[in-house]
Amino acid sequence: MNVTPQLTLKQGRERSLLRRHPWIFSGAIAEVRGAPHTGDSVGVRAADGSFLAWAAYSPASQIRARVWSFDETEIPGPDLFERRIAAALALRRAEIPLEATDALRLVHGESDGLPGLVADRYADTLVVQLASAGCEKWRETLIEILRAQSGCARVYERSDTEGRELEGFAASTGLIAGPAADRPLEIVEHGIRYEVDAAAGQKTGFYLDQRDNRARVGLLAGGREMLNCFCYTGGFALSALAGGARSVLSIDSSARALELAKRNLALNGVEAGREVRTDTERRRARGTRLQGHQPECAEVAAAGRAARDFFLFRRRFARALPENRRRRRRGRRRLAPSSRALSRRTGPPRAHRVSRRRVPERVVAGTPLEAWSCVMPSPEGMGCFVMPGVL
């Protein structure tokens, strides 16, 4: 007879679960009964023996278990997953009209009752991330349900997040279901066409969470000259141009991202100017070669040099659009806490390091800032730089 493994919590440590927080940390566990393996479903009980939740066990992680359900009758399995995925897809269909876009997040982890699972739709292609032990345990089942309910022709996996490594799994990427596409993957958002790199792009290929911000920038762009820092593949630039901007100057340290940005411009009948180029290309044009450029660890230096060039041009922009970048999480303890020291060491001339709290109006030197939440890591610290006379 199979006995379901059980986790018993320490006295008082059930409070977060009673508030429906879906994580159980290792320090909260008093006893493990049975011999659960990685990803196995376990019952979670309070110190007095009362039932709290069903969860997926993860012995390699400090988050020792992630809750599937707080209802004792909802035993984790295909039936529960089908209901959860169907509810998630119904919510997105109700909230995001088809005429707005054919790219959207279908499943978003714990918020949809599926901890560790992310599923993004790009036209007829589904891109999934399996970032938890429970999702890895039910991998085939979850992918089959997602493909059947979404109707997508193919599924790519982008399980290459740090969270997956902390769960004890190696990165897993590539085409996992359906035929390979015979042409580049394209999506449409608010009438603008984008090419998406689902195999190697940031996140799952596109910043879907910035849809509303891109639309807002289009509404504010009419007749303006705009600067798009960390432009990635040009989402905000295209939205600004579609909204009537006179010009958009885009910079990024990634040559690969800029090439895709140029293709996105071409898809929409816009010709890229000569100023859309990497910091490396700009330095070579001056006769200086940038050695060992690595975007993740040298992002702030590259951005600072590029911005210094613009500062020397003494060009003023009506609106600045720094886009989000992937945050560097490791090594935070080595980051300098001093904003003044950070600006002095790594910032362009006369640069100010700013934060949302210090600039509630998001206006510096007379320039409104839109959607700026970028973090630029360096050995000296993290910061978002704003330069008088430029931004």
Considering the domain boundaries, does residue 305 fall inside one?
Answer: yes
What is the pLDDT, as a whole number, of residue 107? Answer: 96
pLDDT of residue 2: 62
Phi, psi of 271 (to 5 degrees): -95, 130
The tally of domains found in the chain comes to 3
Q: Structure pTM?
A: 0.73
How much is the pLDDT for 370? 44
Q: Six-digit token pair at 332?
A: 């935070």
* Within-domain flag for 153: yes
Residues 14, 144 within the same domain = no
Q: Are residues 276 and 175 in the same domain?
A: no
Confidence (pLDDT) at 3: 74
Q: In which residue ranges of the chain is pLDDT below 70?
A: 1-2, 273-391
Are residues 269 and 211 part of one domain?
yes
Domain of residue 291, CATH code: 3.40.50
pLDDT for position 344: 42
The answer to whether residues 356 and 227 belong to one domain is yes
In a domain, 282, yes or no: yes
Asked if residue 332 and residue 213 are part of one domain, the reply reads: yes
pLDDT in tens, 308-325: 444 333 344 444 444 444
Confidence (pLDDT) at 283: 38
